[in-house]
Amino acid sequence: MITFYPGPSKVYSQVEKYLSDAYQSGILSVNHRSEPFMVMLKETIAMMKSKLDIPADYEVYFCSSATECWEIIAQSFVASKSLHVFNGAFGEKWLEYTQKLKPGAKGLSFEPNTLPQTADIIADKENEVICLTHNETSNGTALPFSFFAELRKQTEQVIAVDATSSMAGVEFPWEDADLWYASVQKCFGLPAGLSVLVASPRAIKQAEKICDRDYYNSFLFIRDNFLKYQTPYTPNVLGIYLAGRIMEQVAPLSEVSDQTKLRAGAWYIFLAENGYDVLVKNEEVRSDTVIAVTGTKERVTFLKKAAKESGIMLGNGYGAWKETSFRIANFPAITQQEIDLLKKCLIDNSVSKE
C-alpha cells in the first residue's frame, strides 16, 4: 500500500537496511550513559544541525513526541500565561493541553484563509510564550515565514512553533522563533516514537528563569543530560540512531525544500486543472507539505475508496473537515513515481470521468 497519509506517513526505503545495521552494531543494547551511546547521540545532533541548517547557538533535544513537547513547554517555559494562536484542530489541542497545566493559557483563533494580526498577538506583554502552529495538519494551512519575521521584530517574548508537519521538509527561519518542535513520522521519513525540540538561547534563559525541575521531562533536567550527550531517562535509542542515519543520507535542507515547494506547486496546478477544489483558497497560507482537498461527503468517500482499490491510502479529513476533505502528504520520502500513480488515480476518478 502506497501511503499519502500525513502522519505517520511513508518512511524512507533505506530504513529497512538501517534497522538491520542498528541490530548488527550492538547500539540497541548499550546503556544510555555509555560511551557508544554518547558518541552516537553527539554525531546525530551534529548531523541534524548541519543538514537542517540550525544555528550554532541553538540546541537540539530528542523527546518522545510532539505531544510531550507541549508538556515540556507548559511546565518549563510558562510560569503562568501563554498565548496560543491557531486556526485548526492541532493548534487548539495544544492550547487545551496547556490549560490543564497552566490555566492562565489563552487562545487567539483566526480563520484558515487569513493571517492573524501581530498587534493582537503581542498586546499582552505578560504572556511568557507565544505559541504558533507553522503548518496546521488538519486543514493544510501554513504561516508564511514573512509572518514570523514581522512578529520577531515586534516582540522579545519567547516564540514556540509546532512544526510537526514541516520540519525537515522546508527551510525554516530558525532565528525568528525560539522553540521549534516536530515528531519525526512526517517530513523526516522515520517511524513514529521520537520528536525533535530545538531551543534558542532566549528560550534557554527563560527556562533558567522559571527553574522548573519537578518532572522527569523538565527541560533543564533534559538539558543537563544532553550537554553530556546523555539522556535523563532511557530513550528511544533506535529512533535516535535512525534519525542520524537518515540525516546522513538526505540532501541539505535547502535542496529538499526546493523539491518540496516544486512538488507542492505542481500538485496545486494539477488539482485545479482536473476539477478538484483545495480547502485553502488563499495561496499565501497554503501548506507545501500537507495538501487538503475538499468535496462533498459522498465524493470524498468515493475517492478514498477508489484510491484504496488502486493500492493508495489517502489521508482522512480532520476535525471540522473530517468528512468533507482528504489530505495528501507531500513529504520528502514519497517518490515522484508514487505521486504519478496517485495523480493517475485522481485523473481516472475525476468528475469529468464519472
Note the Cα 37 to chain centre separation in Å: 26
Helix (H) or strand (E) holding 86: strand 82-86
Q: Does one domain contain both 114 and 168?
A: yes
Are residues 258 and 173 part of one domain? no
CATH number, domain of 309, equals 3.90.1150.10
CA distance 354 to 351: 5
Q: Among the three residues 195, 219, 249, which one is the final residue of a domain in this structure?
A: 249
The answer to whether residues 72 and 112 belong to one domain is: yes
pLDDT of residue 163: 97
pLDDT at 99: 98
Same domain for 68 and 20: yes
Residue type, 85: V
Contact call for residues 300 and 328 (beta carbons, < 8 A): no
pLDDT of residue 320: 84
Domain with residue 129: its CATH number is 3.40.640.10
45 HSE (CA, 13 A, CB side): 24
How many Å separate Cα 146 from the centre of its chain? 19
Burial label for 19, CB within 10 Å (0-12, 13-18, 19+), is middle
The residue among 205, 222, 249 that closes a domain is 249
Check residue 352 and give its pLDDT.
Answer: 56
* Residue-number span of the structural domain to which 53 is assigned: 15-249
**Digit-coded pLDDT (tens) for 229-260:** 999 999 999 999 999 999 999 999 999 999 99
Could you say which of 217, 249, 281 is where a domain stops?
249
CB-based contact 2:314 (threshold 8 Å): no
106 and 177 part of one domain: yes
Instruction: Note the pTM of the prediction, 2 decimals.
Output: 0.96
- Residues in the chain where the model's pLDDT stays below 50: none
Q: How many CB atoms lie within 10 A of CB 216?
A: 8
Question: What would the DSSP string read from start to end of 312-348?
Answer: EEPEEP-GGGTTTEEEEE--TTS-HHHHHHHHHHHHH
